[in-house]
């Protein structure tokens, strides 16, 4: 199961890196649905229940949020966050097990807010939380994936946020 988990994490990584190079929210979300499913399967293979459940909720959230052309009604965000909190409590296995929940909750708020610049910045914070979790649950490819995801988000921040500002000056 350990090797299968690493393979699934690698597939998730490829899809996720592609997602951050999209400059439209719905395109980013569609790619992330599939990435989250593969990450959930990776954590399931590692018996890391909280990581698995949070990625299942992330896939559901991303699918739901991608269905709206305009602002997602706040009630959907509240329901998703409440379910994430309940699942985190039910799968609690020490303080470190809460890191995926914190990461996906703040990222859910950023996605709901809808500003791609904010989404990219929050992704960096979420990655840092998942790096700690991946070390704890021995998600080796997940750890590498999260580091690459972090770098990809930083590249996207440079491409779409920093460089754009430099060109305006």
Q: Residue 40 — pLDDT band, cuts 50, 70, 90?
A: very high
Per residue in 48-73, pLDDT tens?
999 999 999 999 998 998 888 888 89
The per-residue pLDDT for 115 is 87
* Average pLDDT rounded to a whole number, residues 79-96: 95
Cα-Cα-Cα-Cα dihedral sign, residues 146, 149, 155, 156? negative
Q: Residue 165 — pLDDT band, cuts 50, 70, 90?
A: low
CA dist., res. 169 & res. 162, Å (int): 11
**Residue range of the domain that includes 28:** 2-168
CA dist., res. 119 & res. 111, Å (int): 6
For the chain, the average pLDDT equals 90
Overall domain count for the chain: 1
Q: What is the CA radius of gyration of the chain?
A: 15
The per-residue pLDDT for 24 is 81
């Amino acid at each position: 199961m350990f090797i299968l988990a690493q393979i699934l994490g690698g597939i998730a990584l490829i899809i996720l890196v592609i997602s951050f190079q999209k400059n439209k929210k719905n395109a980013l979300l569609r790619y992330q649905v599939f990435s989250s499913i593969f990450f959930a399967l990776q954590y399931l293979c590692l018996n890391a229940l909280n990581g698995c459940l949070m990625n299942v909720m992330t896939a559901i959230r991303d699918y739901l949020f991608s269905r709206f052309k305009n602002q997602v009604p706040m009630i959907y965000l509240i329901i998703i966050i409440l379910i994430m909190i309940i699942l985190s409590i039910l799968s609690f296995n020490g303080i470190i097990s809460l890191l995926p929940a914190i990461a996906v909750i703040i990222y859910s708020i950023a996605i709901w807010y809808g500003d791609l610049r904010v989404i990219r910045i929050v992704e960096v914070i979420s990655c840092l939380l998942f790096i700690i979790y991946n070390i704890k649950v021995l998600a080796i490819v997940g750890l590498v994936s999260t580091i690459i995801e972090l770098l990809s988000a930083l590249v996207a921040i440079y491409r779409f946020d920093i460089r754009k500002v430099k060109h305006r000056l």
